[in-house]
């Protein structure tokens, strides 16, 4: 053994792992590709949202007086309407047939003719129905000698008083989307970088590099350094992807809750660290049982399946009922917490005590698994040849 302190030895290994990985073309290209796909997805969502929430309406003849009222009424129903006056109704009708216009409106205000290609949007139909009825009412009031504007004001003042015992969160949809994105990012990071730790262990073992390293380092120092170094690589990539995604979604208006998204990203980073230390040690210990890359899949598949099941089952439960008993309990258990808890926190349904319980259980699990995994790694990493059985790895 040399005179290196335990802490410095761990940091040297971590630095080596970190620099070796971030300098590779695969890391740089992979990060760029993920960011490009994310940017494309955000832009696509922006375009689709604009298209799905907007209608281009042409008005001809007497119907042109309804342009401003139609825009305002449609807006009240949650529909963005762009209006234009046309003089050639036949040409505009052909544009509707060709898909260049959504709607053509002609005729008198109280007897409109609405031309669409296949069907009329529900919000736009409701807005037109309101306008037509208002036109009929105004005509009836005028015949009766009443002021239509005064009558409209009196009607507007007549409202019911609604008392909501459990008010619905109007931002629930966006909170759910943010929670699902954070869960997906953590799922990807834990699975990819956990597997990367396992591949590194087998690579060093098969090439006999580990024997040289263990001539100057203790097994736990090598294991901890590898976990720290590759964990830092995953953290850097997660920060880059999450930060760029947050900036894009905020600037394009896909996400209005910028503060919620920012805090979700911050808590996601915390849970990434907890989840990575939880799983990476298991991946490394499992990988130390085999000597070839061809055998690696058999020992890491059970660990990967836990992460996959946590993601698939957890996401479905979160979509159905993020406050349900099942998802609440699972989100506090160490194997599921790193993926589920940050998502529930982003949705605002995880009380502080649940978060605290999940963190305490995760830290306890990390301590136990680090001790057990370190023992397996130390006893199996120098044993080459056939696969080492787990019970043998616990013996010296």
Classify residue 1: in a domain, yes or no.
no
DSSP-based three-state secondary structure for 290: coil
Mean pLDDT confidence for 37-42: 75
Mean pLDDT confidence for 222-246: 85
- Co-location of 93 and 188 in the same domain: no
Query: pLDDT by residue (tens digit) across 262-310?
Result: 777 788 888 888 988 888 888 988 888 887 888 888 888 988 998 898 8
- Co-location of 14 and 80 in the same domain: no
> Among 103-107, 132-136, 279-283, where is mean pLDDT lowest?
132-136
- Co-location of 145 and 205 in the same domain: no
Classify residue 166: in a domain, yes or no.
no
**326-353 core/surface letters (b: 16 or more CB in 10 A; e: else):** ebbebbbbbbbbbbbbbbbbbbebbeee
With 0-12 CB in 10 A as exposed, 13-18 as middle and 19+ as buried, what is 4?
Answer: middle
- Co-location of 290 and 389 in the same domain: yes
Nearest to 362 by CA among 278, 251, 247, 260: 278
Structure tokens at 334: 């160490």
- Co-location of 282 and 344 in the same domain: yes
pLDDT category, 1, cuts 50, 70, 90? very low
Classify residue 266: in a domain, yes or no.
yes
Classify residue 46: in a domain, yes or no.
no
CATH of the domain at 58: 3.40.190.10
Query: pLDDT by residue (tens digit) across 135-186?
Result: 777 777 777 777 777 776 776 676 777 776 666 555 666 676 777 777 888 8
> Rounded to whole angstroms, what are the CA distances from 177 to 173, 203, 206, 318, 319?
6, 39, 43, 11, 10
- Co-location of 214 and 277 in the same domain: yes
The answer to pTM > 0.85 is no
- Co-location of 76 and 188 in the same domain: no
Number of domains in the chain: 2
Give percent above pLDDT 90 in the chain: 5
What is the rounded CA–CA span in Å between residue 236 and residue 19? 12
Residue where a domain stops, chosen among 154, 189, 211: 154
- Co-location of 178 and 287 in the same domain: yes
- Co-location of 122 and 258 in the same domain: no
Residue where a domain stops, chosen among 154, 188, 217: 154
Which residues span the domain enclosing 247?
A: 6-40+171-393
With 0-12 CB in 10 A as exposed, 13-18 as middle and 19+ as buried, what is 240?
Answer: middle
Classify residue 164: in a domain, yes or no.
no
- Co-location of 129 and 181 in the same domain: no
Give percent above pLDDT 70 in the chain: 86
- Co-location of 125 and 252 in the same domain: no
Mean pLDDT confidence for 309-331: 85
- Co-location of 139 and 244 in the same domain: no
């Amino acid at each position: 053994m040399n005179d290196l302190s335990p802490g410095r030895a761990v940091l040297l290994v971590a630095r080596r792992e970190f620099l070796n990985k971030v300098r590779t073309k695969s890391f740089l290209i992979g990060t760029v590709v993920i960011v490009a796909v994310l940017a494309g997805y955000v832009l696509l969502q922006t375009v689709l949202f604009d298209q799905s929430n907007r209608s281009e309406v042409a008005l001809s003849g007497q119907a042109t007086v309804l342009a401003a009222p139609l825009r305002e009424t449609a807006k009240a129903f949650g529909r963005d309407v762009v209006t234009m006056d046309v003089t050639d109704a036949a040409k505009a009708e052909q544009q509707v047939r060709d898909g260049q216009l959504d709607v053509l409106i002609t005729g008198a205000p109280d007897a409109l003719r609405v031309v669409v290609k296949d069907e009329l949007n529900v919000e736009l139909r409701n807005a037109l129905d309101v306008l037509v009825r208002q036109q009929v009412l105004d005509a009836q009031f005028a015949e009766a000698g009443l002021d239509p504007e005064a009558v409209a004001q009196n009607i507007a003042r007549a409202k019911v008083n609604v008392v909501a015992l459990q008010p619905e969160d109007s931002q629930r949809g966006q909170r759910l989307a943010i929670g699902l994105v954070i869960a997906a990012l953590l799922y990807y990071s834990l699975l990819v970088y956990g597997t990367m730790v396992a591949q590194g262990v087998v690579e060093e073992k098969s090439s006999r590099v580990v024997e040289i390293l263990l001539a100057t380092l203790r097994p736990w120092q090598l294991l901890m350094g590898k976990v720290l170094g590759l964990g830092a690589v995953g953290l850097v990539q997660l920060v880059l992807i999450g930060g760029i995604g947050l900036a894009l979604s905020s600037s394009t208006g896909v996400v209005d809750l910028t503060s919620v998204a920012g805090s979700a990203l911050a808590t996601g980073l915390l849970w990434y660290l907890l989840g990575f230390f939880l799983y990476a040690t298991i991946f490394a210990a499992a990988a130390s049982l085999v000597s070839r890359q061809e055998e690696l899949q058999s020992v890491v598949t059970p660990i990967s399946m836990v992460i996959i099941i946590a993601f698939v089952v957890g996401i479905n439960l979160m979509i159905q009922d993020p406050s349900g008993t099942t998802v609440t309990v699972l989100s506090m258990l160490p194997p599921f917490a790193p993926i589920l808890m940050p998502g529930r926190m982003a949705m605002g349904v995880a009380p502080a005590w649940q978060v605290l319980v999940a963190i305490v259980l995760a830290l306890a699990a990390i301590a136990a698994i680090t001790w057990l995994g370190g023992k397996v790694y130390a006893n199996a990493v120098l044993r080459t040849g056939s696969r080492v059985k787990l019970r043998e790895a616990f013996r010296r």
